[in-house]
Amino acid sequence: MPRKIKHPTSRNPVVIAVSRDIARKVFAALKTDAGLHAYLGNNSIETIATAGKWMWIVSEAALAKGMQISTCPDLSIVAGANSAVGDMFLNNDPLDKHRQAIISGLAAAQRIEGKLTTKELMEAALELEKQLYGKAA
C-alpha cells in the first residue's frame, strides 16, 4: 500500500507553478552536486550530504507512489547505495570504498525520477526535512 505524505498545499495556481519551478531548480542543483562529489570528489561528508539526500528523496517518493523494492530493480539499487552512504557515515569509511555503489545508486535514482512527478519529489523532500529537523522547512 502506498504511503501517504500529507502537507498543507496552496490552491493558487501561480504559487503552485512557482513552487514547482523552484523545486526543479533545487533538485537539479542537488543532483549535480551529488554527481560531482560521487564521481570526482574526495569529501565523504559532502557526498553523504548530497548523494544521500537525493537518493533518499527519490526512494521515499517512489515508495509513497507504491513502488516496491521487490519489483523495482532500480529501487533496490538505490537502497543498496543508501546503505553504502550509511556505512560511510557510521563507520567513517572512505568514499573510494563505496564510490561505485553510490554512482550506481545515483544512476538508478535518475531512472526512477523519470517516473515521479515534481509534486511527489517535493513531498518526499518535505518529509526528509521534517525527519531531520522535526518540522518542514
Domain ranges of the chain: 13-133
Q: Report the pLDDT value the prediction gives residue 5, as an integer from 0 to 100.
A: 54
Mean pLDDT of the 13-23 span: 80
* CA atoms lying within 13 Å on the CB side of residue 28: 6
Q: Is the pTM above the cut of 0.95?
A: no
Residue 18 to residue 63: CA distance in whole angstroms = 26
What confidence tens digit (pLDDT) does each residue in 91-128 have?
999 999 999 999 999 999 999 999 999 999 999 999 99
Q: Rounded to whole angstroms, what are the CA distances from 114 to 1, 9, 13, 31, 74?
A: 21, 23, 23, 13, 12
Q: Which residue has the higher pLDDT, 9 or 102?
A: 102
- Please, which contacts does 78-82 make with residues 24 or more away whose CB atoms are closer than 8 Å? 78/105, 78/108, 78/109, 78/112, 80/104, 80/105, 81/51, 81/55, 81/105, 81/106, 81/108, 81/109, 82/52, 82/55, 82/56
- Indicate the length of the chain as a whole number: 137
User: Residues 50, 88: contact at Cβ < 8 Å?
Assistant: no
Q: Read off the pLDDT band of 23 (50, 70, 90).
A: confident
Biggest CA pair distance of the chain: 47
The string of pLDDT tens digits covering residues 53-93 is: 999 999 999 999 999 999 999 999 999 999 999 999 999 99
Q: What pLDDT, on the 0 to 100 scale, is given for residue 69?
A: 92
Residues ≥6 apart with Cβ < 8 Å to 41: 47, 95
